[in-house]
Structure 1
């Protein structure tokens, strides 16, 4: 058996041979992505492991520790030696340490034996243990290592003085751990903390003037990697630019002989290509490709970094091809992808993610085949896809994506054959369908891959005019969504996945409505509802499990995370697993998840977990008034009408997709109507009125007529109606459709009181809550105001605050005003209040919707922040801010990701929001009127739910009733809406 410390012994006896010395300085094989910071490379230099030269054999150290079990020093010495073995066995092919269990036992024993008055020794040993947790997490992905490591690292950092030369590396350990948790869960606090601690490590390292330039360079690279990770999550160009700057500064410090120098150059190149994707500045792309070429040309064959660098080069050339259309550049992208696969094959053909390099080759050939429209190129894609499948062992979870590549190749051949060889068309289609069905049924495949494949299968069947087959495929894709549990993925990752597979619900509903099997409107609505509001629906479903059965929730989310992660070839005790054993373990984990789902479904109230509830609940939800849900596919728009008796579908034949897109662009995607320049305001209001008239004629009026709500004489109390905000039509002001407000009944507000909901499931969730009755003694009204914020216009808040506090039940409601609070203060207060009234600026983000939110004194209270709350006994959230009900992202319109929806999902049964920027002057008027009318409705014995909706309706009506130019200034009163129960 090879003894990695044999050369170390030779060194003390006279030194190793020259050949051996060269071998020891080679770069250790690493699995991409590169670690944040390989702390163990510097442990000797900075005195982290003072005892490592005392014993050059693990067995000797173990024997010494056994002979003196009460010695903390000897336990630490054993642990140090076990850690140092990682310098020779850092490759995941071998595993984490020879004896991971022995290492942790020895380090924990050393800590327990250390006297409290030996503060520096105790802190040193705790620091080492935190580092070990971080190292083991990178290999095992065990969340328990993260939890333990972060707690320990925070303690160590807090207790270590800035004068201590080890402080930068202890800060780095904490930054790494928080970075891993950020990647895993997407909490922006973790991302911010990781970057902050890494920046402190760099600053302190420079201040302490560490002698080792390579160590300082690694500190900067760690900061760069964390900045890049945050940029990847949030889309921040600034973070990416800083990451590039930090890596370039690291290059200035790193020694010329350090083999990592080429890695840094390659990383800068890849980041520049990523920057180009945001900046569209071709100089970034050219510079990035040049740097990667420089690095790749100097890296020797067999270096573990080479495959990833070549793959990144391939993607860079693909970007360049997209800019130039040069087929020679595309051929170069294909060549580099092939080289990446060959390089990985040389290093380790059993590497758990080696299939990704084969898939990259296939994808490059796919682009080439699409460009050339030649069956030869499609045939090459098929050939490489088959080789990729052959190289993966039976049962490997990456088989799903490999077979998907083959199916894509067959589908591409099908489309090309339709033009060049019609006689082969059906053959290729049948082969493609067969492979897609195979992937859809692979239980151990990544859920995202299986969902994507089901959509492709549906698309293929729709081309062949098979409505029932297409509906079946889309429904299967929807049924797999729960496996992508948002509690086990970063919020931005869920948004990205959904944006790539958007429209599944409307597609399924469309083809069910066209089914030759006579399927019902209820089935179509069920498919539509199941495929919309994925983030909200899964959050609701899993949150219920968390509240009622915490242990099952933890196990469920952990298993969802595991089967969505790359294959890990490390056992529970830290030893290495063969590829076959790792595959076997993954397949068992998939079985465990299915068994756990069965166990949860056996619980009361979780019969259909994790899917949405049965369609029979829809009609029960309409007991207080009808619910209307729109679905648009191409030029076909359906309105699903849910009443207490039945579900029916109404086709809105006047709506054309082009017209709908134009109206959405005007009111949602473009500039806010209220922010248009004064000189153009009249013209813009005319366009808004045209949209409202179109909306009435083409959508709302047909719906109200079918529901028999349009009457010559208005009833004493207007009926209520709920509009589902998912989809393009749901983005528009349905409550304000029409014209002649106050002089005619050709408008929505003359016939119904409107409320909005993200999905039917969200409405059921809101009604399930049991808030404190409005006006109940002990009710707390909190007004949060942020009149001033750098970069925003100053708000006049005094009149609105006075009007709100004075107009709503002053004798029974305890009111308080929180001026200029921090984000932390506001979150803390929300947990103890019942009615929250915000007066501040609101932001809707198009690129990353979950980062939209309310601007507070220090930073933004984001939708993602709110998604992590669960509030009881709350009643109303009044968001007197801009665009709080606006969804600007055109790729995930079915998700209704807006600030108002976020408040609804955390527990507020009623939310008042705005569809666009609200006039400061109008906001000061409508808020006091709402609370005054809410009091009146309660005195008229309206239920709480009806009182809130009717109060908002009448407050809005009062705005255009007391203005002579109400018809001209629709931009002022239209944006205010009620969302909820």
Structure 2
């Protein structure tokens, strides 16, 4: 290309870029994109205009993202700016510009995806830019915003105090007539508003309002910055109404939000619409205005349909749904619940790391059961099952997506199936690099869209319809006990449909209180054997029978014990929601002979298993491949105390337990005992042993369930290690360490525990424990399962019944053991 051609391309690019900057029209920015790309293609970095080309293209791409949410455009901008910061020397003015623009682009991506690494990089970029100019008011103002965002992620008040400090310095250093002074005032006002929310100091709130009013004063209503400040001011008015109860403040908030949301379409964000809906619903509660309530619902629905951040769209849909349910419109809320549940894959997007996805899913706690309750109220029980399947165990569902059977796709489109399989393997083993993780997730989403465009694959990996979910009941009914704030029911899933069994005596509040009391009693009983704790557990078992299990079994016709104690028993699968996930439904009933309630117990009428969701059970029902030699049992025993797990003690019986199991298992056995039982050796051995037994300690942090682990000799085998595995054949895992089937307190419906992990990675059956277990009885259960590994459910059932009869006054001797899977 000649120098003249290059100059013409650069001139055209400059003309279109300057026009876009002057008009601010999103269309002009879009039109500048192609000329800038053409100029960049012929302009290397070392050219006098090389840096300008890259900075300008990155700016255009960032603006395009902010107006269209085109994530690919923003990713390109971040890549361009990152390369510039690496290529340009420290002290270069253009490098400072690149750092500032990079921070802006990273902050925008953080706002969209909530990826913490983006926020940390943005803060570092601005701080680096400030090194050379520590009194730059504009950069200090930007730092205030980023630190404020980091506080909202970390909840660390130090970040917020640092944000306020940076904001105050920005206001101090900004000249009175500086065009960016309003931004400094607004950012400081936002930080002071957040500080009010954690300390409750009304002075912070009043100062925040004064700062925001100063910030908005010089701005004309048609300016984008005016809209942003007005939006924040509306939040502050809303907070002052909550603090002082002056209706005028709430009216001011509503009027401000109306001005924001009635502006140009580009300014109608899901955030502002959601805020307006919250204020309208608050006024409706205060005044009883049906008009305000209806407008709030309509506003939230608009917000949920507005392109933008998934978190706010989800919140809007959830607010529309739950507010209607709270006002007795449970059936009318169905479509809003469906919208919210449908947004969960975007909320907990695969490109985010697991802790971030878990944090985001906390916003959806209880939503799946509420959606199911709405569908039941509307007379659509099958849809209730579908929504519940979508709205819980979201993380396990994502893992099951990568384990889907690709046979049909491979027969029709082998190349695409191969690509999808490779991406699935990469998703199962996520990179620590967030950029790589996002790229893989983007490729996965794009390839799924391509597959769904192929003939015969329109519904590939879309939410599973009931006709397929009902396959989970092929061997017996699955009883989903749906516990919501608005109603409680048992949904009995059969191959031909759903039977709804209302549970009017069961309430969410009672279930939560009983679970708390029962777990506290278990904790006391584990440490001091207190008699009152035993009675509290038995009282909980009896309560579960009266309000739930007895009603279900009577409705299903299981009204008495089978005639043959050791023969064929009717079997059901339990799948609880909410607080009931912490309680042993399989043990519900009356177990004291003095109660004169013979047969009024689940153990005496049916054989029980559990499943975290229907898809997991269907996955476990897949054909068992005929693998030569795949009959072995892997026994892992760790009898010694472990320096890295100070809270654990030695398990001197573990080695003896391993010897005992070898004598009772009919096939070949491999033992890893003591120093042989390392994390790497166990992971290597698992794929070639369809049966596995652990005789070791386990750990479960109810506040961080993904950190749960089995304690091996050199290191813990964590739940996050397990989910990278995809095992076949895998028939039975026996996990008799403590609490291997107890999920976290924050996300009960996600079933984040070791038992579910082993089940989803391939084991068709898992024997696990809900609570702490007794050293006296755990080996008894282990041996019975070892003797009949293909019917572990029966082994657990009959053994726990015998243990109950032998230890009638000790629920810890038999209650904790349960069976998951087929």
CA distance in 1, matches of 2:691, 2:474: 26
Q: Does 1:802 align with 2:659?
A: yes
Aligned position for 2:51:
85
Aligned position for 1:782:
634
Q: Does 1:729 align with 2:580?
A: yes
Deviations 1:4-62 (A, max 9, x none): xxxxxxxxxxxxxxxxxxxxxxxxxxxxxxxxxxxxxxxxxxxxxxxxxxxxxxx9x98
The normalised TM-score by structure 1 is 0.63
Offset of residue 967 of structure 1: 1.9
From 531, 556, 559, give the equivalent of 1:682: 531
Aligned position for 2:196:
320
From 381, 395, 401, give the equivalent of 1:535: 395
Q: Does 1:739 align with 2:587?
A: no
From 750, 756, 762, give the equivalent of 1:895: 750
**Does the 8 Å CA contact 2:561/2:605 hold for their aligned counterparts?**
no
Q: Secondary structure at the match of 1:544?
A: coil
**Does the 8 Å CA contact 2:369/2:482 hold for their aligned counterparts?**
yes
CA distance in 2, matches of 1:958, 1:606: 51
CA distance in 2, matches of 1:634, 1:801: 46
Aligned position for 1:980:
821
Q: Secondary structure at the match of 2:784?
A: helix
**Does the 8 Å CA contact 2:562/2:569 hold for their aligned counterparts?**
no
User: Which shows bigger deviation, 379-388 or 695-704?
Assistant: 379-388
Aligned position for 1:481:
344
Q: Secondary structure at the match of 1:141?
A: helix
Q: Does 1:507 align with 2:367?
A: no
**Does the 8 Å CA contact 1:471/1:511 hold for their aligned counterparts?**
yes
**Does the 8 Å CA contact 1:262/1:299 hold for their aligned counterparts?**
no
**Does the 8 Å CA contact 2:573/2:610 hold for their aligned counterparts?**
yes
Offset of residue 759 of structure 1: 1.2
CA distance in 1, matches of 2:345, 2:796: 36
Superposed counterparts of 1:16-165, under 5 Å: 79=45, 85=51, 89=55, 92-93=58-59, 140-141=74-75
CA distance in 1, matches of 2:339, 2:153: 37
Q: Does 1:381 align with 2:236?
A: no
CA distance in 2, matches of 1:305, 1:763: 60
Q: Tell me the matched-pair count.
A: 725
Aligned position for 1:369:
241
CA distance change for structure 1 residues 83 and 954 in 2, over 3 Å: closer, same or farther?
Answer: farther
Task: Select the structure with the greater relative contact order (CA < 8 A; seq sep ≥ 6).
Answer: 1
Q: Does 1:909 align with 2:759?
A: no
CA distance in 2, matches of 1:555, 1:445: 30
Aligned position for 1:411:
281
**Does the 8 Å CA contact 2:192/2:205 hold for their aligned counterparts?**
no
Aligned position for 2:207:
332
Aligned position for 1:634:
485
CA distance in 1, matches of 2:194, 2:187: 11
Q: Does 1:430 align with 2:285?
A: no
Structure 2 unaligned runs (5+)? 1-38, 63-70, 87-98, 410-415, 428-438
Aligned position for 2:798:
954
CA distance in 1, matches of 2:681, 2:217: 55
**Does the 8 Å CA contact 1:601/1:608 hold for their aligned counterparts?**
no
Offset of residue 638 of structure 1: 0.8
Offset of residue 639 of structure 1: 1.1
Deviations 1:747-767 (A, max 9, x none): 221222211101122211221
Aligned position for 2:413:
none
Deviations 1:277-314 (A, max 9, x none): 468xxx99778755654565346686989958954763
**Does the 8 Å CA contact 2:137/2:184 hold for their aligned counterparts?**
no
Superposed counterparts of 1:775-924, under 5 Å: 777-786=629-638, 787=640, 788=642, 789-796=644-651, 797-811=654-668, 813-814=669-670, 816-817=672-673, 819=675, 823=679, 826-857=682-713, 859-890=715-746, 892-924=747-779
Offset of residue 697 of structure 1: 2.4
CA distance in 1, matches of 2:458, 2:761: 20
CA distance in 1, matches of 2:780, 2:603: 19
CA distance change for structure 1 residues 686 and 815 in 2, over 3 Å: closer, same or farther?
Answer: same
Superposed counterparts of 1:227-246, under 5 Å: none
Aligned position for 1:421:
none
Offset of residue 337 of structure 1: 5.4
CA distance change for structure 1 residues 356 and 555 in 2, over 3 Å: closer, same or farther?
Answer: farther
Aligned position for 1:748:
602
CA distance change for structure 1 residues 368 and 693 in 2, over 3 Å: closer, same or farther?
Answer: same
Q: Secondary structure at the match of 1:952?
A: helix
Q: Let me know the Cα RMSD of the aligned residues.
A: 5.1
**Does the 8 Å CA contact 2:185/2:212 hold for their aligned counterparts?**
no
Q: Secondary structure at the match of 2:530?
A: helix
Deviations 1:617-669 (A, max 9, x none): 4544323112111112337321112234542111223324443222211334x
Aligned position for 1:666:
517
CA distance in 2, matches of 1:299, 1:971: 67
**Does the 8 Å CA contact 2:348/2:360 hold for their aligned counterparts?**
no
Offset of residue 600 of structure 1: 1.4
From 452, 459, 467, give the equivalent of 1:616: 467
**Does the 8 Å CA contact 1:486/1:535 hold for their aligned counterparts?**
no
Offset of residue 361 of structure 1: 3.5
CA distance change for structure 1 residues 138 and 523 in 2, over 3 Å: closer, same or farther?
Answer: closer
Deviations 1:370-406 (A, max 9, x none): 3344443233223332443466554x7x733333333
Aligned position for 1:440:
304
User: Which shows bigger deviation, 701-710 or 924-933?
Assistant: 924-933
Aligned position for 2:459:
607
CA distance change for structure 1 residues 320 and 305 in 2, over 3 Å: closer, same or farther?
Answer: same
Aligned position for 2:21:
none
Offset of residue 455 of structure 1: 2.0
**Does the 8 Å CA contact 1:503/1:894 hold for their aligned counterparts?**
yes
CA distance in 1, matches of 2:255, 2:736: 60
**Does the 8 Å CA contact 1:869/1:906 hold for their aligned counterparts?**
yes
Offset of residue 483 of structure 1: 3.8
Q: Secondary structure at the match of 2:355?
A: helix
Aligned position for 2:67:
none
Aligned position for 2:494:
643
**Does the 8 Å CA contact 1:272/1:284 hold for their aligned counterparts?**
yes
Aligned position for 2:319:
456
Q: Secondary structure at the match of 1:487?
A: coil
Offset of residue 349 of structure 1: 6.4
**Does the 8 Å CA contact 2:483/2:507 hold for their aligned counterparts?**
no
Q: Secondary structure at the match of 1:638?
A: strand
CA distance in 1, matches of 2:181, 2:692: 53
CA distance change for structure 1 residues 482 and 266 in 2, over 3 Å: closer, same or farther?
Answer: closer
Q: Secondary structure at the match of 1:507?
A: helix
Q: Secondary structure at the match of 2:735?
A: strand
**Does the 8 Å CA contact 2:772/2:812 hold for their aligned counterparts?**
no
CA distance change for structure 1 residues 879 and 819 in 2, over 3 Å: closer, same or farther?
Answer: farther
CA distance in 1, matches of 2:559, 2:579: 24
Q: Secondary structure at the match of 2:552?
A: helix
CA distance in 2, matches of 1:342, 1:625: 68
